[in-house]
Amino acid sequence: MPGMAAILRLAALALLLGFLLMPQSFAPLFTPLTQYGAPPIYDQGNLLTLALAHLGVVCCAAAASTLVAVGLGILVTRPSGAQFLPLSRTLVNIGQTFPPVAVLAVTVPLVGFGEKPTLIALFAYGLLPIFENTIVGLQTCPPQVLEAASGMGMSARQRLLSVELPLALPLILEGIRLSLVINVGTATIGSTVAAKGLGEVIIAGLLSNNNAFILQGGLVTGLMAILLYDALAGLERRICRTAHLE
Amino acid sequence: MISVENLSKQYGATTVVDGVSMVIERNSITVIVGTSGSGKSTLLRMINRLIEPTRGRVLIDGHDTTGEPAHLLRRRIGYAIQGHGLFPHRTVAENIATVPRLLGWDEARIRARVEELLLVFQLDPGAYAGAFPHQLSGGQQQRVGVARALAAEPAVLLMDEPFGALDPIIRAKAQDDLLDIQRRFGTTIVLVTHDMDEAFRLGDHVAVMSHGRLLQYDRPAVLLTRPADPFVSRMTGVSDRAMRLLSLTTAGEAALPGVSEGPAVAAAASLREVLSELLWRGADSAVVMDADGTRRGYLTIAAILERGRPG
């Protein structure tokens, strides 16, 4: 039922915006979770600013992951780069299996505290879905279409830009969406190394034993992930429909 | 004119095409026929250098095809394949405009050419120019594929099993259309198929290939009457070779001058069709009529049977 989905979507967006813009009006809901008169709403910073900073770090990391993963995916699906496929796959897989917390531990001594180590951790963690989807998208282009493109007289570059990438686009976009959504959640750990973000709220809650803070940080992050996933899926459908790539 | 000179292709120790030489005449349809694995598609693809030969060379109108980058060569040679290979994300008009765009034609010229081709292929430009390939029937997709191959007015058109994915009725129509188009544009067509009926129906010349070698390259009637190799007789079919021979001559070509009784047959019909018609009606002779309704002459069963013998 598309009507139901639209209502849920709007409700989730209204809830998120309402909470970020007027958090104090939700105070009665969170008061039961606090003890000894602790503040029910996070008061050590502006929630809206933190949410935007959180989103900013995630988007920057995703942009870098996209550039590298799509570029690498193109390279290893060319005849000249095919020999790098196993190596690239191993590197990208390490990026995914190496825990982001461990990446933070390794990178802080090198680049210092703040956004930089978080960006690096999220970048490495987000490569895999984009890389694999780019490869699958490029490798599953119908062979007849590719042969026709070459037979018509397209150069390798023209074929890539005007046939292969457009046909692989739906899968590449899906990879970017997965990567973004995974990293909205993962980015909360950035607050352990002083990156601005919603992790701050959760950590503040853990330190002061304030369940209300933990819940707020988690809910805002979760709502953002769901809405982002939904919005990107809609955008993908729209792009694919206008380009007739069902 | 295309000269294929001692062309070979090897993959490791396997020889796919083995020293093939042939001269393909201008403004004709040449059909390369063979079983799968005979090297016929590889031979075709070496003409536009989708596959680079191991040995030998190809000359088009006297010019060695290795004289320019392969992708520039291919823009001058039409190429149509089985299952059409249309770009699914582009409209019919954009698909047809592919090579003219690559060649940098101006938009007005491209539009005019696309419209002309859509009309030639019996596709209403208003309804189909903006349609996407998946919205077309199989026969329409195939026609767009051939229209796209012809868009930049190539002198040579290469076709690899272009009608293989069509059902028999649409295939017969597509073959008739191809003959019309060849006459209209005077294109030199080289077509690969495994279907002997198709080869006999379309080919001015037929080349029979087996295991990478060219066994015989001649007019269809010669393949039937003087096969160079037992494999050629097997390919052309021994049991109905007389009927095949009859199918190569039209009633108009065989008509005897004079007047006779009997049913009217079209001058364009093959002798095989006329014989079948006479058997069906129990008649001994037929009147041959031109398309405009004038009498061309007559045919008797005896005269037709005479044509079904070699030599």
Same domain, B226 and B251: no
In the prediction, which pLDDT does A246 show? 53
In the prediction, which pLDDT does A167 show? 92
Same domain, B77 and B200: yes
Which tens digits make up the pLDDT trace of B174-226?
899 999 999 999 999 999 999 888 999 999 999 999 999 999 999 999 998 89
Q: Cβ separation of B89 and A150 shorter than 8 Å? A: no
Same domain, B159 and B268: no
Look up residue B162 and give its two tokens.
């272009």
Q: Cβ separation of A153 and B75 shorter than 8 Å? A: yes
Same domain, B264 and B151: no
For chains A and B, what is the number of CB pairs under 8 angstroms? 66
The answer to whether the beta carbons of residues A211 and A33 sit under 8 Å apart is yes
Domains of chain A: 45-242 (1.10.3720.10)
Q: Mutate which of A152, A159, A245 to test chain B, going by most B C-beta atoms within 10 A?
A: A152
In the prediction, which pLDDT does B188 show? 95
Same domain, B99 and B195: yes
Which tens digits make up the pLDDT trace of B28-54?
999 999 988 899 999 999 999 999 999
In the prediction, which pLDDT does B260 show? 85
Arithmetic mean of pLDDT, B112-141: 92
Amino acid at A212: A
pLDDT of residue A79 exceeding 60, the answer is: yes
pLDDT of residue A245 exceeding 80, the answer is: no
In the beta sheet, which residues pair with residue B63? B60
* Spatial distance between the Cα atoms of B69 and B214, rounded to a whole number of angstroms: 28
Lowest mean pLDDT among A234-238, B21-25, B115-119: A234-238
Arithmetic mean of pLDDT, A97-121: 87
Q: Looking at residue B149, which CATH number applies to its domain?
A: 3.40.50.300
Residue where the block lists tokens 């813009």: A21
Per the prediction, chain A carries an average pLDDT of 89
Q: Which long-range contacts (CB under 8 A, 24 or more apart) does A158-166 make?
A: A158/B102, A160/A74, A163/B87, A164/A138, A165/A74, A165/A138, A166/A243, A166/A245, A166/B89
Between A193 and A243, whose confidence is greater? A193
Arithmetic mean of pLDDT, B113-134: 93
Q: Mutate which of B50, B75, B98 to test chain A, going by most A C-beta atoms within 10 A?
A: B98
Asked which of B191, B216, B236 is the last residue of a domain, the reply is B236
Asked which of B236, B269, B291 is the last residue of a domain, the reply is B236
Same domain, B285 and B229: no
Residue A2's pLDDT band (cuts 50, 70, 90): low
Same domain, B128 and B258: no
Nearest alpha-carbon partner for A120 in A186, A197, A174:
A186
The torsion region of residue B153 among left (phi > 0), alpha (psi -120 to 50) and beta comes to left
Tell me the residues of B at the A interface, defined by beta carbons under 8 Å apart: 48, 50, 71-76, 79, 81-89, 98-99, 102, 132, 134, 145, 148, 158
Look up residue A133 and give its two tokens.
């989807």
Residue B126's pLDDT band (cuts 50, 70, 90): very high
Nearest alpha-carbon partner for A216 in A61, A36, A56, A34:
A34
Q: Which residues in chain A touch residue B157, judged by CB atoms under 8 angstroms apart? A: none
Lowest mean pLDDT among A150-154, B125-129, B169-173, B214-218: B169-173
Same domain, B253 and B154: no
Which tens digits make up the pLDDT trace of A91-104?
888 888 888 888 88
Please tell me whether residue A240 adopts helix, strand or coil conformation. Answer: helix
The answer to whether the beta carbons of residues B43 and B17 sit under 8 Å apart is yes
- Name, in order, each residue with C-beta under 8 angstroms of B291's C-beta and a sequence gap of 6 or more: B266, B267, B268
Predicted model pTM: 0.84
Helix axes A115-139, A165-186, angle to 10 degrees: 150
Same domain, B45 and B134: yes
Q: Which structural domain, as residue segments, surrounds residue B224?
A: 2-236
Same domain, B294 and B232: no
Arithmetic mean of pLDDT, A201-222: 90
In the prediction, which pLDDT does A200 show? 87
Nearest alpha-carbon partner for B28 in B206, B217, B192, B204:
B204
* Spatial distance between the Cα atoms of B201 and A82, rounded to a whole number of angstroms: 44
Asked which of B189, B216, B236 is the last residue of a domain, the reply is B236
Residue A6's pLDDT band (cuts 50, 70, 90): confident
pLDDT of residue B96 exceeding 90, the answer is: yes
pLDDT of residue B64 exceeding 80, the answer is: yes
In the prediction, which pLDDT does A107 show? 87
Q: Cβ separation of A167 and B75 shorter than 8 Å? A: no
* Spatial distance between the Cα atoms of B292 and B309, rounded to a whole number of angstroms: 31
* Spatial distance between the Cα atoms of A181 and A203, rounded to a whole number of angstroms: 21
Q: Cβ separation of B50 and A150 shorter than 8 Å? A: yes
Same domain, B141 and B287: no
A166 and chain B in contact, CB less than 8 A: yes
If one counts the domains in chain B, the total is 2
Distance from CA of B216 to the nearest CA of A (A): 28
Q: Mutate which of B44, B89, B98, B144 to test chain A, going by most A C-beta atoms within 10 A?
A: B89
Q: Looking at residue B278, which CATH number applies to its domain?
A: 3.90.1280.20
Same domain, B131 and B225: yes
pLDDT of residue A27 exceeding 90, the answer is: no
